Chain A
Amino acid sequence: MNSDKRTAGFWFLAAFFALFVLFLYGPMFVIVVLSFQGPEGGLTFPLRGVSLHWFYKLAEGLGVVDIGTALRRSLGLGLAVMAFTVVLSVLAGLAFRKKLAGANTLFFVVVASLIMPSIIVSLGIGLEFRLLDTGIKKVLEVFGMTGTLEGYGTALGLFTSALGAHLTWTLPFGLLIMFAVFNRFNPAYEEAARDLGATPWQGFRHVVLPLIAPSVVGIGMFGFTLSWDEIARTSQAIGDVNTLPLELQGLTTTVTTPSIYALGTVTTVVSLLVMALALGLAWWLDRRQKKGTR
């Protein structure tokens, strides 16, 4: 394996790898190309002209679906999930470095959430909020607050149940990244700061945070992109409103024009932009921090 001559095995595996990458990216590339078709274009090849026609169609809306609203909802939820994922993962990551009673149990629960079939989590959260609705309505009835009762819809929503559902999916990733980060973290820096009289907060703010900043940006990216594309955990847990991926899933059976490919291109571009931004930011923070220590 360490000989200098490439073996037949190498070439076979290299070809296999190349095919695998083609398999991963090929179909995606096809729909990006097809989304730029002319007005005559259909769902398959050949390409009929080149235009932005289907993107304009998309902006006008697809049937009864309001793409713009769904997009804003997904963006808002994604940003909220990102913020919570970052803060909660970093806090918990710090906690796991210390003596924490029940650390193993908590770790087990987090991992269980990661491998739990999403439909089960989603159903459970949906049920929880429906039972909560029943409870709230009972309470309102008992206190005779009929006005509030009539106005009351449901506790299910974007920033209640759906946010919680997304966090059960993004936080395990965030926490595992924090573990990986603190596994390689040298506590000597912190001890030095403490010896110099830094308070725990100062130690965190000026020593730990700059060192882990690139990974924290990574956690934010995980949080946003996982939420942005999430369907299974949202499906039963969101109530009457829909996020963009949910609308998209519904559209697969009804829309038969390339505008669905245009929507695919748009959401993919957003995902890739967020990733590029995060990677760029992480790289910049890493470089800045290295400059500082040199």
Chain B
Amino acid sequence: MSTPTASLPSPAPAPAPGRSLAAWWQAMPLTTVFVLFFLIPLALILMVSFWDFNEYELLPGFTLKNYFSIFEGCGNTSDLCVTFKTYLSTFKFSFLVWLITLVTGFAVSYFLAFHVRSQGVQTLLFVLCTIPFWTSNVIRMISWVPLLGRNGLVNQSLAGLGVVNQPIEWLLFSDFSVVLAFVHLYTMFMIVPIFNSMMRIDRNLIEAASDSGASAWQTLWNVIVPLSRTGIIIGSIFVITIVMGDFVTIGVMGGQQIASIGKIIQVQTSYLQFPLAAANAVILLALVLMIIWALTRMVDIRKEL
């Protein structure tokens, strides 16, 4: 199967005159879907974030009330306000998950791309890594319960070996289990683009490096890492944006005890506080866009050097 990362196709050689109208009609249905279900909704979020509301309806108008109420108490330096605390916790999860998935994804891709010699075996192992992506995330989350729970396999084994007297409580419904589940669910998003980049590296470059006397580490750091950069950045963008907006994984694996921005938005919509939720969404979106912008800048800056 083809990997879901590709660049724009090179324009068809000299398109026949009059074909651009046909192209317009062919792109029309897809464009309509994204206008109706992506662009208009985003515009509405921005609009409604400035609206007022009461218990049962939205009140059109213009107010900054929602934004003020999100940052209420945030001027206080001695004690962090709820919003900042939530963002800090979300950043912490993003960073940890990003770091772990990056290292794991890079190592797995490197093994597949440079150590597995037979192309058939390579494809097989790659597909093996991607299959779990197609099964339900919630199922994959709760599959940790029999392992990490109070009477789970890990605790039973540790108790059996006499390592612990009491079951370890922090294994499940904790920061640990949240990070573990994220890594379990989303390392694939790192593997696919990084593997894709690595497969495009000209193998002669590596031979040249080793002929010039570079050690394996030097080749890795000076040749392979820079050339896998695009894949690393794409994978990082995926993982970071997923974790930043997540509310399902943090909810299920955190035992509904850990706050996240996504969760705040979800709770607010369930109380029909749409303008508040919209304002939160706008702030989250701005942050995510800033992170993506910074990441893509990193690519371009190095390309220019």
Contact = CB atoms under 8 A, between A and B. Distances in A.
What are the nearest 3 A-B pairs in CB distance?
A117-B245, A124-B41, A164-B37
B238 A115 contact: yes
Contacts of B207: 2
Contacts, number: 308
B242 to A, nearest CB: 7
A180 interface: yes
A95 B23 contact: yes
Contact of A92 (B26, B144, B256, B285): B26
B140 interface: yes
Given A94-B26, A95-B24, A98-B19, A43 B108 contact: no
Interface in B8-41: 8-13, 15, 19-20, 22-27, 29-31, 33-34, 36-41
A182 B19 CA distance: 17
A31 B134 CA distance: 17
Nearest to A113: B38
Most buried by A among B4, B41, B129, B210: B41
A134 B48 CA distance: 14
A202 to B, nearest CB: 15
Interface stretch (A6-14, A55-63, A138-146, A149-157): A6-14
Interface string A162-197: 001101100101011101111100010000000000
A43 B146 contact: yes
A115 B292 contact: yes
B247 interface: yes
Nearest to B251: A249
A119 interface: yes
Given A17-B125, A128-B41, A183-B7, 18 more contacts: A9-B216, A28-B132, A28-B143, A44-B149, A84-B33, A95-B24, A97-B12, A120-B42, A120-B265, A120-B281, A123-B45, A171-B33, A181-B2, A222-B4, A252-B142, A260-B142, A268-B136, A275-B134
Given A1-B210, A117-B241, A231-B137, A96 B9 contact: yes
Interface of B: 1-13, 15, 19-20, 22-27, 29-31, 33-34, 36-42, 44-45, 48, 57-58, 104, 107-108, 110-112, 114-115, 125, 128-129, 131-132, 134-147, 149, 151-153, 156, 184, 187, 206-207, 210, 216, 219, 237-238, 241-242, 244-248, 251-252, 256, 262, 265-266, 269, 274, 277-278, 281, 284-285, 288, 292
10 contacts: A1-B216, A10-B115, A27-B147, A30-B143, A44-B149, A44-B152, A101-B20, A168-B38, A179-B6, A267-B139
Contacts of B278: 123, 127
Interface of A: 1-2, 7, 9-10, 13-14, 16-17, 20-21, 23-28, 30-31, 34, 43-45, 84, 87-89, 91-92, 94-101, 103-104, 106-107, 109-110, 112-113, 115-121, 123-128, 130-131, 134, 164-165, 167-168, 171, 173, 175-177, 179-183, 187, 200, 215, 218, 222, 225, 228-229, 231-232, 235-236, 245, 248-249, 252-253, 260-261, 264, 267-268, 271-272, 275, 279, 282
Contacts of B135: 28, 229, 267-268, 271-272
B260 to A, nearest CB: 10
A225 B131 CA distance: 11
Contacts of A117: 241-242, 244-246, 262, 284-285, 288
Contact of B27 (A31, A45, A95, A130): A95
A236 B281 contact: no
Contacts of A88: 29-30, 33
A261 B281 CA distance: 34
Given A231-B137, A275-B134, A183 B9 contact: yes
Most buried by B among A14, A91, A253: A91
Majority secondary structure of chain A interface residues (helix, strand, loop or mixed)? helix
Contact of B20 (A9, A13, A99, A252): A99
A100 B269 contact: no
Contacts of A27: 140, 143-144, 146-147, 184
A120 B285 contact: yes
Contacts of B132: 24-25, 28
A41 to B, nearest CB: 11
Contact of B22 (A98, A107, A173, A271): A98
A164 B4 contact: no
A118 B149 CA distance: 29
Contacts of B251: 249
A225 B274 contact: no
A231 B22 contact: no
A43 B134 contact: no
